[in-house]
A and B are shown apart, each in its own frame.
Chain A
């Protein structure tokens, strides 16, 4: 499908933020494959990872066509340098344990929901189509993560302690979801997307009741602000990319 909008760097940057966040979370969740606590969860996490990578493929293919530099989805996924990735920092953090994994899924998919909803009316018709499709999948991902968040948070002493530790660790990274950027203003003006700062209310209306039901203490907001959206990543990103890009870096152009 050809896009009806003229592109610019803000538009591409905005698309990469969404694409890379799906891609990198998909990569992280793939690490669980064969290591899930029970078979059903192994399968659930792998299925979620597949959907996320599928979303990233559609978006990266779209970016490749718009920028028109001859890069396809694979070139964008596997051959960029660390600072060129625009994912929010939270998705690149190590899985640590099942508690952090499902809580991160909950915090992030609860953000994707209002984002996809808003993007369904984008002037970028391809983005609108991808958003409409992804929204349905994200509902299942979020429900799955919500079930576990409540079950483990309001569970045993051990599961509660692990969930609280995960929340304390992850919470500061949620601020980045809503931090304003110049690209947001540009895409709003072009009716391509929503400013992420405007999604905070919808996100909180999902997240806060679930955390309360999970009997978890929501930490105070701090001045900490991660900057993955700007390409400034945590120390974990390089390690993740080393593994993710290994094959294409070692055997350039390799297919199978």
Chain B
């Protein structure tokens, strides 16, 4: 199997939590090497505690085996740490169409918290920019919780169309 073919196979391996995007679009496949008979895939975890990490490794192995690679080795690489900035533009559009607001640029999120916070109206100090509703595109949205069904997403609500939605947090 060639490196190009292996990348092509991986581009069809879906993320187990968000099946509309692939592991390559998510940016967690950092390198693919061919070493004699073996395909070596370097992956990086999203969050340290992401339960999908092990499922993803197994899906990658299985997909490459089914495509004819006899030996598959998965190597974990931690540095540089995964960032949502590695999610491709196309994948961000797919996220939006799927109902998940895609992440803003991660670099802006590394700012320290601002104190004192303005009372009552703004107990939440995080995510200063407006997040557009993936359904109606309104910017009149509010955060319900910083953690959603998975660590990588926050829960939001659109005040315009009244629908709840998830926001993929910049990391």
B81 near A43 (CB under 8 angstroms)?
Answer: no
B49 near A54 (CB under 8 angstroms)?
Answer: yes
Give chain B residues whose Cβ lies under 8 Å from the Cβ of A128. 79
A148 to chain B, nearest CB (A): 9
Contact with A along B78-102 (1 / 0, CB 8 A): 1111110000000000000000000
Evaluate whether A206 and B112 lie within 8 angstroms (CB atoms) in the complex, with A51-B151, A147-B126 already known. yes
B49 near A53 (CB under 8 angstroms)?
Answer: yes
* Centre residue among B51, B80, B124 by max chain A CB count within 10 A: B124
Give chain B residues whose Cβ lies under 8 Å from the Cβ of A51. 47-49, 151
Evaluate whether A154 and B119 lie within 8 angstroms (CB atoms) in the complex, with A44-B147, A47-B49 already known. yes
Give chain A residues whose Cβ lies under 8 Å from the Cβ of B116. 150, 209, 212-213
Whether a CB of chain A sits under 8 angstroms from the CB of B67 is no
Evaluate whether A50 and B78 lie within 8 angstroms (CB atoms) in the complex, with A147-B126, A151-B123 already known. no
Bound: A229/B113 CA distance, A: 29
B117 near A129 (CB under 8 angstroms)?
Answer: no
B156 to chain A, nearest CB (A): 12
Bound: A225/B106 CA distance, A: 39
Evaluate whether A132 and B147 lie within 8 angstroms (CB atoms) in the complex, with A47-B49, A139-B109 already known. no
Evaluate whether A132 and B151 lie within 8 angstroms (CB atoms) in the complex, with A50-B49, A147-B125 already known. no
A43 near B148 (CB under 8 angstroms)?
Answer: yes
Evaluate whether A147 and B150 lie within 8 angstroms (CB atoms) in the complex, with A130-B78, A139-B109, A209-B116 already known. no
A136 near B171 (CB under 8 angstroms)?
Answer: yes
* Centre residue among B49, B125, B148, B151 by max chain A CB count within 10 A: B49
Give chain A residues whose Cβ lies under 8 Å from the Cβ of B83. 136
Whether a CB of chain B sits under 8 angstroms from the CB of A89 is no
Interface residues on A, range: 35 or more
Whether a CB of chain A sits under 8 angstroms from the CB of B145 is yes
Determine the residue in chain A with the shortest Cβ distance to B118: A213
Give chain B residues whose Cβ lies under 8 Å from the Cβ of A230. none
Evaluate whether A129 and B49 lie within 8 angstroms (CB atoms) in the complex, with A43-B147, A139-B110, A143-B113 already known. no
Give chain A residues whose Cβ lies under 8 Å from the Cβ of B50. 50, 54
A165 to chain B, nearest CB (A): 21
A213 near B49 (CB under 8 angstroms)?
Answer: no
Evaluate whether A137 and B155 lie within 8 angstroms (CB atoms) in the complex, with A58-B78, A212-B116 already known. no
A43 near B149 (CB under 8 angstroms)?
Answer: yes
Contact with B along A178-200 (1 / 0, CB 8 A): 00000000000000000000000
Whether a CB of chain A sits under 8 angstroms from the CB of B144 is yes
Determine the residue in chain A with the shortest Cβ distance to B149: A43
Whether a CB of chain B sits under 8 angstroms from the CB of A87 is no
Bound: A142/B112 CA distance, A: 10
Whether a CB of chain A sits under 8 angstroms from the CB of B135 is no
Determine the residue in chain A with the shortest Cβ distance to B154: A140
Whether a CB of chain A sits under 8 angstroms from the CB of B104 is no
Write the residues of chain B forming the contact surface with A, with a CB cutoff of 8 angstroms: 45, 47-51, 77-83, 106, 109-110, 112-113, 115-117, 119, 123-126, 144-151, 155, 169, 171
